[in-house]
Structure 1
Amino acid sequence: MNPDDSLYDEQVVRPYVMTRGRTEARAKLDLISLAVTIRPATGVEMGLDPEHLKIVRLCKRPLSVAEIAAHLDLPAGTVRVLLGDLLDRGFIAVQEPQPEVDVLDERMYRAVLDGLRAL
């Protein structure tokens, strides 16, 4: 067995198996979306994997998707799918980031253009 095979198995196949082959979360979650536990998981719920339970424990205080991924040492895409599962089953709530500027505000675009012209 090639030493690189174990690295491949752990980092690619394992997340694929954790998500049962799913690559997209049912909910749109940004890296800065905050997740917080609203209902504890006892560990006897059907369909929850150890990673789901870890997320429920971690999110006793609000954490971003990026922070959860770092704590679990998993790709953000995998964490998004797992968070979607927990959201669907009512274990967590998610707060989406609020835009600081109105992207439809013409003044913002004029300010960007003026700044670029000043360069």
Structure 2
Amino acid sequence: MDEEAGPVVRPYALVGGRTRSSGDALDLVALVTATGAAPSGDFVPGPEQERILSMVSTATPVADVASELDLPLGVVRVLLGDLQDHGLISIGRASASERILKEVINGLRAL
């Protein structure tokens, strides 16, 4: 208990101590999109997963989800993996055109 912040829960407690989800490793730039499906079986999304579902109505990068939730990337990957396992989100790859990649390389060289 932190007097100023109130109760503090360690991030790993949100995912039951797990450090990996059953799915594939998610890239920072992978795009997450809610499928609109209802939770199936006995799975009930937690508050953080509900926030994820509300923020990914349009394709959103994994890094942005982690930033918005203010949670470590590893925790967010587990939360996303659980949602994907239950068909509540889809994960896509970000496509970068050759022109954009060349601009990034040129920008880095300019530094």
TM-score, length of structure 1 as denominator length: 0.66
Task: Tell me the secondary structure at the aligned position of residue 23 of structure 1.
Answer: coil
Displaced runs of 4 or more, over 6 A: none
**Mapping 1:12-91, distance limit 5 Å:** 13=10, 15-26=11-22, 27-41=24-38, 46-91=43-88
Distance in structure 1 (CA, Å) of the matches to 2:2 and 2:90: 43
Q: In the alignment, residue 54 of structure 1 is paired with which amino acid?
A: R
| Alignment root-mean-square deviation, CA | 2.9
**Higher Cα radius of gyration:** 1
Q: TM-score, normalised by structure 2?
A: 0.70
Supply the distance in 2 between the matched residues of 1:29 and 1:99 (Cα, whole angstroms).
17
Unaligned 5+ runs, structure 2: 99-111
- The number of residues matched between the two structures is 96
